[in-house]
Amino acid sequence: MGGDHGPSVTVPAAVSFLAAEAGANLILVGKSDAIQAELQKLRAVDHPRLSVVNASEVVTMDDPLEVALRRKKDSSMRVAINLVKGGRAQACVSAGNTGALMAVSRYVLKTLPGVDRPAICTILPNQKDGPTYMLDLGANVDCEPQHLHQFALMGSALVSAMEGKAKPTVGLLNIGEEDIKGNDLVKRTAQLLRLDHERGILNFYGNVEGNDIFEGTTDIVVCDGFVGNVVLKASEGVGRFVKNALTTEFRRNPLNMLGALIARGAITAFSRRMNPSRYNGASLLGLRGLVFKSHGGENAYGYEFAIRRAYEAVHHDVLSRISKSIAELMPQPTPASQGLEAMPQPQLTENKTA
């Protein structure tokens, strides 16, 4: 029911995905009437690998977390996550309110042992033609070093599972490569990551800068949710800006239009590669269940990528592999985070005037 378009996007995406993946089964959760109406349009009411579970309520984009958590107990979001909790579904995909999805997921599924805070992880394209995994993208806006440390461990486990890399590289997003660069949070985080690197637990590359995300310098880029969210949206903004500028120039006169027509193969391939829908589907990482978030504004083409992301995570047994990695990498309690929590919390608010 979620996102800007609801069943008019999610249902066609689901039907299309089932046509592409013969091994997949989907449960559509939401208001039966609305879902059935969409299925009828697509002549898919009796699809053998598709079922519908009714949920009478919908969490809106404006609903406070309180409403999503305590009041709308029969929301499509809640019912879908309950299906994961109960083992009837292996993953949940939603285009709904991100904050509510995280809160309900966390409340219903709980976090994995050793994980204080789940994080949102997505993939971004890079110049090496591979994915860069980046987290957190907005679930945690005020972070402590131990949280970024956990994000690094979770990201590492995810990439191991999804990409088959035994020791994926982890970069810490900073404003320079040198150890002395950065704010208090990243400097303290780097110490924890270096310790893990020395112990052979993490493949910590060191600090990376904003451009490294798209250069593919490391497999994983770790940052707090404020920075990650702003960077992600700014990158999308640059992408749209570039696309519009290119379209304007090609339409400026008949000669340019002719050139564009002749080179339409290049332009189509380029547009396809730059299409953010292809990277749709962020993982809510650190929960005892698989939950994926689609961008709210996506069309059916983009929403299908989010379903695919979830399907592949199930296929690669991501949940048990992450749980196992986290248990191995982050024995309870970890010496690092124990040490940090026992220490008096240093103030980030010191007034540096030098």
Q: In this structure, what token pair is assigned to residue 150? A: 């956990």
Shortest distance (Å) from residue 245 CB to a second copy: 6
CA distance 221 to 224: 10
Question: For 97-112, b where at least 16 C-beta lie within 10 A, e where not — what string?
Answer: bbbbbbbbbbebbebb
Q: Segment 164-203, which members bind a second copy (CB under 8 A)?
A: 173-175, 182-184, 186
Contact pick of 252, 317, 327, 333 for a second copy (by CB under 8 A): 252
Other beta carbons within 10 Å of 129: 8
Task: Indicate the residue among 117 and 309 with the shorter CB distance to a second copy.
Answer: 117
- Count, residues near a second copy per rule CB under 8 A: 74
Residues paired with 170 in a beta bridge: 204, 220
Other beta carbons within 10 Å of 210: 16
Task: Indicate the residue among 19 and 234 with the shorter CB distance to a second copy.
Answer: 234
Shortest distance (Å) from residue 314 CB to a second copy: 29
**DSSP-derived 3-state class of residue 200:** coil
Q: Judged by CB under 8 A, does residue 345 bind a second copy? A: yes
CA distance 290 to 161: 14
Q: Choose one: 72-80, 227-235, 282-290, 331-339; the region binding a second copy (CB under 8 A).
A: 227-235
Contact by Cβ (8 Å): 270, 245: no
| Nearest in space to 7 (alpha carbons), one of 214, 303, 343 | 303
How would you class 176 by CB atoms within 10 Å of its CB: exposed for 0-12, middle for 13-18, buried for 19 or more?
Answer: exposed
Q: Judged by CB under 8 A, does residue 46 bind a second copy? A: no
Shortest distance (Å) from residue 348 CB to a second copy: 4
Residue 71: DSSP 8-state: I
Q: Judged by CB under 8 A, does residue 21 bind a second copy? A: no
Task: Indicate the residue among 245 and 327 with the shorter CB distance to a second copy.
Answer: 245
Task: Indicate the residue among 163 and 236 with the shorter CB distance to a second copy.
Answer: 236
Q: Segment 284-323, which members bind a second copy (CB under 8 A)?
A: none
Shortest distance (Å) from residue 54 CB to a second copy: 30
Contact pick of 21, 177, 215, 312 for a second copy (by CB under 8 A): 215
Q: Judged by CB under 8 A, does residue 237 bind a second copy? A: yes
Instruction: Give the x-and-dash track for 258-287 against a second copy (CB under 8 A).
Output: xxxxxxxxxx-xx--xx-------------
Shortest distance (Å) from residue 150 CB to a second copy: 13
Alpha helix positions (H), the chain: 7-20, 32-41, 65-66, 76-85, 98-109, 145-163, 184-198, 212-215, 225-250, 254-262, 264-274, 300-315, 318-329, 335-342
CA distance 242 to 231: 16
Shortest distance (Å) from residue 117 CB to a second copy: 7
Task: Indicate the residue among 21 and 215 with the shorter CB distance to a second copy.
Answer: 215
Shortest distance (Å) from residue 155 CB to a second copy: 17
Q: Judged by CB under 8 A, does residue 41 bind a second copy? A: no
Q: Judged by CB under 8 A, does residue 253 bind a second copy? A: yes
Q: Segment 58-117, which members bind a second copy (CB under 8 A)?
A: 116-117
Instruction: Give the x-and-dash track for 127-156 against a second copy (CB under 8 A).
Output: x----------x--xx-x------------
Shortest distance (Å) from residue 139 CB to a second copy: 10
Q: Judged by CB under 8 A, does residue 333 bind a second copy? A: no
Q: Judged by CB under 8 A, does residue 250 bind a second copy? A: yes
CA distance 171 to 206: 5
The gap between the terminal CA atoms of the chain, to the nearest Å, is 53
Q: In this structure, what token pair is assigned to residue 325? A: 């990695």
